[in-house]
Amino acid sequence: MTATDARGIQFVLFKIGVETYAIEIGETQEVLRYLQPRKIPHAPPHVLGVINLRGQIIPIVGLREKFSLESVSPDAETRIIVTTAAGKLTGIVCDAVERVVFIPVKNIEENPDFANAETGTSIRGVAHIEGDNGVIFLLSLPNITAETPSASV
């Protein structure tokens, strides 16, 4: 579900290292302070485990691990963004949540041609905000959560 109006599409911006990433607000259920997930035996390295969220078991994906970045210990800014994609709840761990913004459709570009098979599946496109020289990577949640144990909405 895309939250679009005259201002553009609404996204939640967050950090992983120095890079800014975004997911559509319609794919976001809530943002939690970091909770230590319980490990799942034989899970892929980016699946950090599961948490119990008000009686519902939610798998947790570490984006640093998914993107082959150096792992860091959680701190006061670390958050879990509970997302919903393809009817499946998944938590994604980020270093910090920045803000919610509208990005004009004209500032969003489909996945760049230089993306390789691995990054092309996780990143659906790039965007920028007027007056800011930075690049925002737009995540493809269904692809990030594809190998994650299921928790239905």
Residue 19, in any domain of the structure: yes
Q: How far is CA 110 from CA 5, 59, 132, 138, in A?
A: 19, 28, 19, 9
What distance in Å separates the CA atoms of residue 109 and residue 119, rounded to the nearest whole number? 15
Does residue 149 sit within a domain?
no
Burial of 22 (0-12, 13-18, 19+ CB in 10 A): buried
Kindly report, residue by residue over 66-84, the tens digit of the pLDDT: 988 998 999 999 999 999 9
**Cβ–Cβ under 8 Å, residues 26 and 47:** no
pLDDT at 153: 46
- Nearest-angstrom CA–CA distance, 107 and 128: 6
Domain with 12, as residue range(s), is: 8-144
pTM of the model: 0.85
Task: Give the mean pLDDT of the chain.
Answer: 87
Residue 122 lies in a domain: yes
Write the pLDDT tens digit of every residue in 23-67: 999 999 999 999 999 999 999 999 999 999 999 999 999 999 998
As for how many domains the chain has, the answer is: 1
Residue 151 is assigned to a structural domain of this protein: no
- CATH number of the structural domain spanning residue 63: 2.40.50.180
